[in-house]
Structure 1
């Protein structure tokens, strides 16, 4: 797992450690020291701790004007044992909501498993974004299937035309606008 890096291609557009409003403002990364682990496997130092033992993130892009937040994940999303969605909601999303972010793109290519519990934090997040949305892109089919067993798909858009495999080749604003237009079509707005 130490070879799986967060996507660095958008650093010239956004760096969460340089953003004074980011939950990770001022964080210094030591790329020579691998100290964080998931189930005893070291992960790349570029991933950020959110309070969970099994799920780490990287805020890839924040667009303050349009309210877009793009967040990449690695690990096991475990709501059953570690209440990962609570850590994500309280430690990251609540701060972003306070800054006006209402459109969340969750990149889950490196989410290796999902263990569900209840959907109350997802429901709260859904209600908090009001005119916005939350979408999951790149999650493995079996992870989405497991999420859907716990009704997460009621609150998080996924699948179908949202499977954008070439997102890394786009500039972040173009990617966000594409996702937004796909969501708008899906919601019939």
Structure 2
């Protein structure tokens, strides 16, 4: 797992450690020393710890004028044991929302498992973004099944074309435009 790095092609456009509105503002990183782990497997040191024991993230891009951000996730999203949604919402999303973010793109191809529990934080997050949305792209099928079973798809946009987006070939604004158009089509259908 230490070989799985956060996507770095946009680092010339945005760095959360340099963003005064980011919860990771001022953070310094080692390129070589792994200190965080998921189930005793060290992870790459560029992933950001947000309070969870098993879920790590990287804010790849935030545009406060357009009101969106892109967050890549790694590990196990476990609401049952660790209430990971609370950490993601309280320690990351709320801070970004206070700065004007209303549309969240969560990249989940490195989310290995998902365990749903209570939907309270999802509802609070969803209610707090007014005309915004939370889109989950490229999550694994078994993770999507668990999200459905937990009835969280009311709050999270999942499935369909969101499952197979070649996002690495796009710049952040192109990705946002694509996701926004897909969400708008769903809302008008």
The verdict on a shared fold, with TM-score over 0.5 as the criterion, is: yes
Partner Cα distance (1:163, 1:38) in 2: 24
> Map of 1:87-98 to 2, 5 A cutoff?
87-98=87-98
- Would you say 1:37 and 2:37 are equivalent positions? yes
Q: Distance in 1 between matches of 2:181 and 2:123?
A: 23
**Mean alpha-carbon deviation: is it higher for 86-95 or for 164-173?**
164-173
Q: Give deviations 1:110-159, integer Å, cap 9, x for gaps.
A: 00001111111101111001100001001001101001111110100011
TM-score normalised according to structure 2 size: 0.98
Taking the aligned partners of 1:158 and 1:178, their CA distance within structure 2 comes to 14
What SS does the aligned partner of 2:45 have?
A: coil
Mind listing any 5+ residue stretches in structure 2 that lack a counterpart?
none
Distance 1:116 1:4 in 2: 25
Matched residue SS, 1:100: coil
**Aligned match of 1:178:** 178
TM-score normalized with structure 1 length: 0.98
Which residue pairs with 1:66 in the alignment? 66
The answer to whether residue 92 in structure 2 is matched with residue 86 in structure 1 is: no
Match of 1:11?
11
Q: Which runs of 4+ in 1 moved over 2 A?
A: none
- Partner Cα separation in structure 2 for residue 88 and residue 74 of structure 1: 12
Query: How many aligned positions are there?
Result: 189
Specify every segment of 5 or more residues in structure 1 that has no aligned partner in the other structure, as ranges.
Answer: none
Secondary structure of the residue that 1:81 maps to in structure 2? helix
**Two-structure CA RMSD over aligned residues (Å):** 0.9
In 2, distance between residues paired with 1:43 and 1:162?
26
Cα distance in 2 for partners of 1:164, 1:144 equals: 13
What is the aligned partner in structure 1 of residue 52 from structure 2? 52
Name the SS of the counterpart of 1:80 in structure 2: helix
Q: Distance in 2 between matches of 1:162 and 1:138?
A: 6
- State the partner residue of 1:168: 168
3-state DSSP class of the match of 1:77? strand
